[in-house]
Amino acid sequence: MMAIVNRTPDSFYDQGATWAEDAAFARVAAVVEQGAEIVDIGGIKAAPGQEISAAEEKERVVDLVARVRSSYPSLVISVDTWRAEVGAAVCAAGADLLNDAWGGADPELVDVAAEHGAAIICTHTGGVTPRTRPFRIEYDDVVAAAIDDTVRYAERALAAGVARESIVIDPAHDFGKNTFHSLEVTRRLGEMVDTGWPVLVSLSNKDFVGETLDLPVGERLVGTLAATAVCALAGARIYRVHEVVETRQVVDMVWTIAGRRPPQRAIRGLA
């Protein structure tokens, strides 16, 4: 489980509830208690909005990363950034993973990951500019495009010196995609899993869930968990989430049904 921690005043989901550093740190403590193995700290919301410079982004995340690192030595700390400058600063502060949600918009980010021995998440965005919404974007085959782009990015990271076991691919639901694209990626996620690269999915409260069910952000948990179950059955390995406990239960149940995990307790008919 990768738990989302927003150091932004304008997050689409929590509306700035963890904008203050102490609130963000409390969120880290809460999700660690819930069993999250990774926290993903972000300093800029993905949607269009106020321009945030690299300097401002660093002010939002670097000190928090250092504080979390000091308090949780074994926790995997991810930072959601596409900027190499920010990546270098957070890695120096103790981050383990760079979550590039914008598909290699800054080509030097892989070099930063390699230099610091960090992991990297390689996403597919269809080449859209960071912090812009897709407009009438079209693909001949969205899954083929996602595979081609993420595998190419993964291979570039490997060539730059990032360890193979530290490279993850992500189809990036909603990013550079309309709802039909995100639904197709979900339905065919097994094709990405079959590449051999570990797959991360970020489904939590996304617009494709809201549009499918015609529900606002605060009412998308059930739809999110349904999409999570489909991705879990396909073999996704990492789940970037707002709701850790509920997602863990869904993934554990699906993986047990799939025969990848034993039940925690199985005495029915035996005792």
Kindly state the average pLDDT of the residues 198-226.
97
Is 206 assigned a catalytic role?
Answer: yes
Q: What are the φ and ψ backbone dihedral angles of 78, each rounded to 5 degrees?
A: -110, 150
Q: What percent of the chain has pLDDT over 90?
A: 94
Q: What is the pLDDT of residues 51-79, one digit of tens each?
A: 999 999 999 999 999 999 999 999 999 99
240 is catalytic: yes
Q: What pLDDT is attached to residue 12?
A: 78
Domains delineated in the chain: 2-257 (3.20.20.20)
Element of type H or E holding 119? strand 119-123
Annotated active-site residue in 7, 45, 131, 240: 240
Annotated active-site residue in 136, 206, 261, 265: 206
- pLDDT at residue 271 above 80? no
Find all residues with CB under 8 Å of 47, minimum gap 6, and list them.
Answer: 12, 131, 133
- Quickly list DSSP for 151-192: HHHHHHHHHHT--GGGEEEE--TTTT--HHHHHHHHHTHHHH
Q: Tell me what pLDDT residue 16 has.
A: 86
This prediction has a pTM of: 0.96
Q: What is the pLDDT of residues 92-135, one digit of tens each?
A: 999 999 999 999 999 999 999 999 999 999 999 999 999 998 99
Q: What was the pLDDT predicted at 245?
A: 98
Q: Are strands 2-6 and 38-42 parallel, antiparallel or unpaired?
A: parallel
Backbone dihedral region for residue 14 (phi beyond 0: left; psi -120 to 50: alpha; all else: beta): alpha
Closest CA to 30 of 245, 251, 206: 245
